[in-house]
Structure 1
């Protein structure tokens, strides 16, 4: 398991550091061949080895097992999932008698907060281990089927956005994959097969089904009342979670797909404060995701929210989810951001996942490598995606409705696009139709000049749409939260139901809104994060008053 940062990923703690963990753990002894944790099963927490040796083994759902690493005295076992008590991604097998100190997830979080220097070393190691597992596809599900299919892309995108390791086995080149398909004879609609670490086989599963089998979704404690329930795990929601959790509020974050929101799909953000060389949206939001869990924030992702009940019949707000699930909270922060806008193009949905994309990640870049692509949109997200794709494809044609990019895109991106030889700008254009082949895959886009009305056929197998977004507020219908004419949440405006709201508070007392979903917000990552921090004092004040009643 050689890696350039192996020493950081598997440090050896000295006697003094080991002694500092004593107040946070309990002793556990294991006999030879005992398993400290099992791949695919919920583990007890982080194990610090006091004596003996433990072998870490990778094991997949098809039964293959292979030793990865042997850890000895002074080393600890686990990865970033142990902060929240998630399922183990590898096996840990005692080689002879082993004496350990177990730090449960709660005790581990307490240690990394109280002991900053030791906590930093532990956190760095746990994060690097997850990165190494992702790079090698160790510990997650096996995806069996054609690599470029729309459903394979959908499932890989879901796992990637949630930083879950996985491997793709193509039956055309992998004997085990071919044998699996021969044994199960799935139809094309049932592909890919997903083999979970515990051996369960799913046929082209929906995201929530897959999440349940991978242990991402535990049963909610419906008797627990959280101080803060945050709906939406984009930059605004994650910032709220980090600041609220660090100040001692009990917090749960809910999101329908993954953490990061639209920002998580940004190929490179170069105008965010503190990152002069830029950072990917996935990297930025993944750090916040881990940071929130460090402060005890509960994550329930993915979970679909159906409605917010603001009646406070039992004194609390009620968030209603799928299958009758519900979350009780004293306050709710609406951070759902916006959903990708789908232009009015006939049969658009037919080509989604078959040539039409709404973000540009390494998965999509690989699919369209060395091809000509069309990208529609003139905002910063479109510019970032165009520059990123230009490094992988033959040519990027940016299509905008305006005469130029000046009014909608940052100057640094305009200059970079102008300097990139394989990016072409098509101004004053609209896509009016899409053309597919007999198998339903995109082969051309038809576009119209806005001035003359002249139509053109542009051969391409991939169209990227970055044409803005609409607020994700359908779940707030009939709950009393006032929206503006475009569907954004109105905050800080006195009303009959809330005559003296806080700056980020809605027309319903205790319901706040931050980020892109809020009327009047600055549609920037920095603005969203700032509002996430700004709302926390108001949350504290509301919770304090509620507790005193």
Structure 2
């Protein structure tokens, strides 16, 4: 199908007329007069199992402009080619759309004669569309219990690694039928049924990754560069390392994207004026790294770093090892755990650390609590407010101004279903098989109250994932890796440093081992700075290799 949407009825009819004249014998032409109407048509097409080849959207439409429509349409038909119809004055917006929605082309109105200005463009896009495989994507199926922590972890692993899956409850008819067909024990869940019909019962992340087609083993034994961690800094390093000719492998223990990949919306990242979700940004960066030849390994848990002569050796939890000339540590950070009684036992069963976007639809019509006052907490509150009856932010400080971006504070204030409670913290949690209630304390008065809730999402500070580097590289008292000029104290280089130069700017206390992003001491905790440090680290890798 070819779908066109324009709020100007005469223009909409003219576009549809020209499309039918050329393509009506091969494609069905669908016409809509608003973004909402077009999205409804796309949903019906999706349910019928039909395919959309090209989307043509007018930029200037009330209520939902063409870019906003195309961004939502991408979720339904990501393979459809996207064209924006613009006036001459809107060409700058059209250029911006190339970043926002991966726009394939923009056409200026009027497009007469279509034989010169419309048909050649669509012919090329349709040729490209037909050259790809548009059969329905086969889905992995996951059967488990609603309040099973491991079921949540499996679904989160698949979602963050962009693996399509469908979730079934074990106590519902279809879930029970799948378990019977798979011969799985209902007491040993979750059960994962892959697209080839294989059934895995309570698989490890490594088993799951290998079965759903994610790369888990390196193709070589020695590399120019090993990047440890697949967040923005690691992906940035992989893109620049591979694009500049270094044989590069990236090792990620869970899923690429890091904390940024869990963000529902990043609105202050350069080049995306309308914002971009963490998963979209991660997917693009991952595809970009692979395009340049980087290897990306999932469920690769690094446990030891050591020097092996001029090489740097990484030992993995599964017993494997990888040697390289250089290493970039981009392990990022994880959210600190709340120490209140009851929370540990209910983690994954109503208590979640990070956005846990897979749980958002289940929060529909319910009361959600978000702990934290930084951008990640604010973005989560905005996202969950689309689904939940109410969202309450619990902030230990006296206000949001000290820790959250101004634009986000304004957005939160404009949403009536979001409440911000300052000077408040969680002191305990109750529940049997899942979270049922929380006890909150107002630190300004000392008073406590019990509130009913099945959903608590925690964003409280960052702990670096560097325990495995203890005794190997210099870290500060909080565990962040010290690098560059900070390693030279009173003119003295770090102990064990055997080169006749000072460490490069992002170089750790082990020559040839660099650090980028949130894991570095004194780093700026922003996506843009992490990507920049990843690229900068690659430049320093080149300098190191040239002077070895």
The Cα shift of 1:545 comes to 3.0
TM-score by length of structure 2 reads: 0.72
Q: State the secondary structure of the residue aligned to 1:279.
A: coil
The Cα shift of 1:358 comes to 1.7
Q: Which residue of 2 aligns with 1:491?
A: 483
Residue 232 of structure 1: which of 229, 233, 249 is its match? Answer: 229
Q: Count the aligned residue pairs.
A: 425
1:342 matched to 2:342? The reply is: no
Q: Which residue of 1 aligns with 2:198?
A: 200
Alignment of 1:292-307 (within 5 A): 292-307=289-304
Q: Which residue of 1 aligns with 2:113?
A: none
- Do 1:147 and 1:168's aligned partners in 2 also have CA atoms closer than 8 Å? no
- Do 2:342 and 2:430's aligned partners in 1 also have CA atoms closer than 8 Å? no
Summarize the Cα distance change of 1:127–1:353 in structure 2 as closer, same or farther, 3 Å threshold: farther
Summarize the Cα distance change of 1:195–1:127 in structure 2 as closer, same or farther, 3 Å threshold: farther
Q: Which residue of 2 aligns with 1:259?
A: 256
Q: Which residue of 2 aligns with 1:526?
A: 528
Distance across 1 between alignment mates of 2:176 and 2:3:
34
Q: State the secondary structure of the residue aligned to 1:244.
A: helix
- Do 2:163 and 2:212's aligned partners in 1 also have CA atoms closer than 8 Å? no
Q: State the secondary structure of the residue aligned to 1:168.
A: strand
- Do 1:307 and 1:477's aligned partners in 2 also have CA atoms closer than 8 Å? no
- Do 2:182 and 2:199's aligned partners in 1 also have CA atoms closer than 8 Å? no
Aligned residues: CA RMSD: 2.9
The Cα shift of 1:453 comes to 1.8
The Cα shift of 1:522 comes to 0.6
Q: Which residue of 1 aligns with 2:312?
A: 317
The Cα shift of 1:488 comes to 0.5
Q: Which residue of 2 aligns with 1:155?
A: 154
Residue 370 of structure 1: which of 360, 365, 369 is its match? Answer: 365
1:540 matched to 2:542? The reply is: yes
Alignment of 1:171-182 (within 5 A): 175=174, 177-182=175-180
- Do 1:358 and 1:466's aligned partners in 2 also have CA atoms closer than 8 Å? yes
Summarize the Cα distance change of 1:169–1:458 in structure 2 as closer, same or farther, 3 Å threshold: closer
Distance across 2 between alignment mates of 1:154 and 1:237:
23
Summarize the Cα distance change of 1:127–1:183 in structure 2 as closer, same or farther, 3 Å threshold: same
Distance across 2 between alignment mates of 1:255 and 1:409:
29
The Cα shift of 1:469 comes to 1.4
- Do 1:148 and 1:367's aligned partners in 2 also have CA atoms closer than 8 Å? no
- Do 1:375 and 1:463's aligned partners in 2 also have CA atoms closer than 8 Å? yes
TM-score by length of structure 1 reads: 0.72
Summarize the Cα distance change of 1:532–1:183 in structure 2 as closer, same or farther, 3 Å threshold: closer
Q: Which residue of 2 aligns with 1:104?
A: none
For structure 2, which runs of at least 5 residues remain unmatched after alignment? 5-48, 54-123
Alignment of 1:351-430 (within 5 A): 351-430=346-425
Q: Which residue of 1 aligns with 2:67?
A: none
The Cα shift of 1:153 comes to 2.4
1:454 matched to 2:451? The reply is: no
Distance across 2 between alignment mates of 1:398 and 1:126:
48
Query: Which segment drifts farther, 253-262 or 213-222?
Result: 213-222
Distance across 2 between alignment mates of 1:277 and 1:448:
38
Q: Which residue of 1 aligns with 2:84?
A: none
Q: Which residue of 1 aligns with 2:71?
A: none
Distance across 2 between alignment mates of 1:159 and 1:486:
31
Q: Which residue of 2 aligns with 1:165?
A: 164
For structure 1, which runs of at least 5 residues remain unmatched after alignment? 6-66, 72-119
Residue by residue over 1:160-180, the C-alpha shift from the partner in whole angstroms, topping out at 9 and shown as x without a partner, is 1011122234455554x4333
Q: Which residue of 2 aligns with 1:58?
A: none
- Do 2:335 and 2:354's aligned partners in 1 also have CA atoms closer than 8 Å? no
Residue 243 of structure 1: which of 227, 240, 248 is its match? Answer: 240
Distance across 2 between alignment mates of 1:322 and 1:143:
26
Residue by residue over 1:332-359, the C-alpha shift from the partner in whole angstroms, topping out at 9 and shown as x without a partner, is 0000010121011123221111101122
Alignment of 1:86-235 (within 5 A): 138-146=137-145, 149-170=148-169, 175=174, 177-182=175-180, 186-221=184-219, 224-235=221-232
The Cα shift of 1:200 comes to 2.2
- Do 2:216 and 2:300's aligned partners in 1 also have CA atoms closer than 8 Å? no
Residue by residue over 1:273-304, the C-alpha shift from the partner in whole angstroms, topping out at 9 and shown as x without a partner, is 11110000110111011000000001111211
Q: Which residue of 2 aligns with 1:436?
A: 431
Summarize the Cα distance change of 1:322–1:270 in structure 2 as closer, same or farther, 3 Å threshold: same
Distance across 2 between alignment mates of 1:121 and 1:484:
54
The Cα shift of 1:68 comes to 8.9
Residue by residue over 1:484-515, the C-alpha shift from the partner in whole angstroms, topping out at 9 and shown as x without a partner, is 11111111133243451111111110000000
The Cα shift of 1:530 comes to 1.0
The Cα shift of 1:528 comes to 0.4
Query: Which segment drifts farther, 240-249 or 259-268?
Result: 240-249
Q: State the secondary structure of the residue aligned to 1:505.
A: coil
Q: Which residue of 2 aligns with 1:290?
A: 287
Residue by residue over 1:65-97, the C-alpha shift from the partner in whole angstroms, topping out at 9 and shown as x without a partner, is xx999x9xxxxxxxxxxxxxxxxxxxxxxxxxx
Q: Which residue of 1 aligns with 2:89?
A: none
Distance across 2 between alignment mates of 1:262 and 1:338:
8
The Cα shift of 1:3 comes to 8.5
Q: Which residue of 2 aligns with 1:513?
A: 515
Residue by residue over 1:36-78, the C-alpha shift from the partner in whole angstroms, topping out at 9 and shown as x without a partner, is xxxxxxxxxxxxxxxxxxxxxxxxxxxxxxx999x9xxxxxxx
Distance across 2 between alignment mates of 1:126 and 1:435:
55
Q: Which residue of 1 aligns with 2:458?
A: 465
Distance across 1 between alignment mates of 2:293 and 2:162:
19
Distance across 1 between alignment mates of 2:545 and 2:138:
40
